[in-house]
Amino acid sequence: MTARLEGLNRFAADHQLPPAFVHLAQTHYFPLLDWLSNHNRSPHLLGINGCQGSGKSTLADFLARFLGEEHGWNVAVLSIDDLYLTRAERQSLAQTVHPLLQTRGVPGTHDVALGMNILDRLCAQQRGESTAIPRFDKSCDDRAPAHTWPAVTGKVDMVILEGWCVGSRPQPAQALKTPVNALEAEEDPEGHWRAFVNRSLQNYQQLFQRLHTMALLKAPDFSCVYHWRLEQERKLASRNPDGKGLMSADEIARFIQHYQRLTEANLSDLPHTADVVLELNHEHGIDRAYYQ
């Protein structure tokens, strides 16, 4: 057994991934890793976009581990989820702008300035210097205390920013008029919430423009999100027997409606602009990969 395969089997075991993952990684993840390793820019800023449950964090962790093991790279991983505003800040938005902003996730509920600060510090970091990476505690729906944030030390070779809206662009105002689901029709009939989200997304462009390369995990359609998100919740439940912070199937069905509009726009638009597109199937496999 080669060292690469041994490392891959360890990675799959550590992440409790199914046997099919080994073949998927050999066929698609390692070629992506090899392609990225040939980029000379340092640090290289990579964005990974994909809908909920598509495997963004797994891909980011895979690249970070194997670029480290095989090339000696120091890779920092930041999730857009870890840039959420605090619970108190979102409560304030819910009271002053729209009640739907209490729910984390959509543009307007992240601290973009914090994200840019972290990226800039990581890019400038030299030997002996450290940067703490923010973490969000979903079990209490609030930002984790700063003293618990993990630190990245030394010169950084790559920064990975992964998230469901990474690389997303604002929609034309005309596109906002017609609700895309029951949540928009019933809880945002005047369109104030989606207009705020769309305006907020404009501010995210200064964060996304820092990225050198974009990779897209392209789901077949939005219907996958419910099933994949439910699968994620079941995995979390197996590690969290008290059930704190977990959602029921009905709660997930409502929750994902917050993200349907932008997710569908991403599935339509990002394949034309991403540098790498990995086309997923309904079983979480990858049918095709292409490089722009």
Residue 85: its pLDDT value, please? 97
Amino acid at 199: R
When mean pLDDT is compared across 135-144, 167-176, 179-188, the lowest value belongs to: 135-144
Provide the residue ranges of all domains of the chain, joining segments of one domain with +: 3-291
Mean pLDDT across 188-212: 97
Residue 1 has pLDDT above 60, yes or no: no
Q: How confident is the model at residue 229 (pLDDT cuts 50, 70, 90)?
A: confident
Residue-wise pLDDT tens digits, 42-81: 899 999 999 998 999 999 999 999 999 999 999 999 999 9
Q: What is the DSSP string of 70-110?
A: HH---EEEEEGGGGBPPHHHHHHHHHHT-GGGGSTTSTTSB
Alpha-helical segments (H) within the chain:
3-14, 20-24, 30-37, 56-71, 87-96, 112-124, 182-187, 192-208, 223-239, 249-255, 260-269
State yes or no: pLDDT of 200 exceeds 90. yes
Specify the pLDDT at position 3.
86
Percent with pLDDT over 70 in the chain? 96
- Contacts of residue 46, defined as CB under 8 A and 6 or more positions apart, other chains included, come to 36, 63, 158, 159, 160, 161, 211, 212, 213, 214, 215
Query: Considering the domain 3-291, what is its CATH architecture?
Result: 3-Layer(aba) Sandwich (3.40)
Q: What's the mean pLDDT when you consider all of the chain?
A: 94
